[in-house]
Structure 1
Amino acid sequence: MARKGVVQRERGKQELEKRYRSIRRSLKAGMGEALSLDGKWEIHKELQSLPRNSAPTRLHRRCFLTGRSRANYRYFGPSRHVLREMAHACLLPGPVRASW
């Protein structure tokens, strides 16, 4: 189980990224359309002035049950521990227990 403060911090990053998503996309599109080097520098300064945690690369996937940040499956959503427990309890259709 992850600490609650870490999970809350990650949720705050998600909200911040959602808030600045359109601004960041428009600035990046303007960067490609800028013809002069000075125009690109101005757009780059505006991008740098945005909060660091509003960048989508700073987000991590977390298990929706435990909050674990590592070994998450994109398709299912939980971490490997929870996925294994769900497979043992026959809550997931499809996975076959080989030699677990």
Structure 2
Amino acid sequence: MAKVSAVEKNKRRRRTVANHAEKRAALKKIIMDKSTPMEERFRAQLKLAQMPRDGSKTRIRNRCEVSGRPRAYYRKLKMSRIALRELGNVGKVPGIVKSSW
């Protein structure tokens, strides 16, 4: 089980990203547009630098919904391999069957 503080920090980052997504996208559009004047692009870049770092989408860590584990994460199922195996053995994940040969 992951530390509760780490899981909560990641949840807070997700909320911050959602709050700042539109403004960041608008600033990035100005920065990437080569037809706008250099001064305006530079001002947009400074405004983007003033925004919180946790507002960036790359700061979000994929974590297991069940245990909070950050590694061995299956994006499709939103859980780690360990939680997947435990729930699969109990029969709580549809389509997962314990293999035997």
Work out whether residues 89 and 97 of structure 2, in 8 Å CA contact, stay in contact via their aligned partners in 1. no
Aligned to 2:18: 18
Letter of the 1:72 counterpart:
Y
TM-score normalised to the size of structure 2? 0.88
Distance 1:81 1:63 in 2: 10
Distance 1:19 1:83 in 2: 31
Distance 2:81 2:8 in 1: 22
What is the DSSP-based 3-state SS (H/G/I as helix, E as strand, rest coil) of the residue aligned with 1:94? coil
Distance 2:92 2:3 in 1: 26
Q: CA deviation at 1:77?
A: 1.1
TM-score normalised to the size of structure 1? 0.89
Q: CA deviation at 1:40?
A: 1.5
Q: CA deviation at 1:75?
A: 0.8
Distance 1:27 1:77 in 2: 31
Pairwise mapping of residues 1-100 of structure 1 onto structure 2 (< 5 A)? Answer: 1-33=1-33, 34-98=35-99
Letter of the 1:48 counterpart:
A
Letter of the 2:91 counterpart:
C
What is the DSSP-based 3-state SS (H/G/I as helix, E as strand, rest coil) of the residue aligned with 1:95? coil
Distance 2:54 2:92 in 1: 36
Letter of the 1:55 counterpart:
S
Runs (4 or more) in structure 1 with deviation over 3 Å come to none
Give the root-mean-square deviation of aligned CA atoms: 1.4
Percent identity between matched residues is 28
Distance 1:77 1:35 in 2: 41
What is the DSSP-based 3-state SS (H/G/I as helix, E as strand, rest coil) of the residue aligned with 1:65? coil
What stretches of structure 1 of length at least 5 have no aligned partner? none
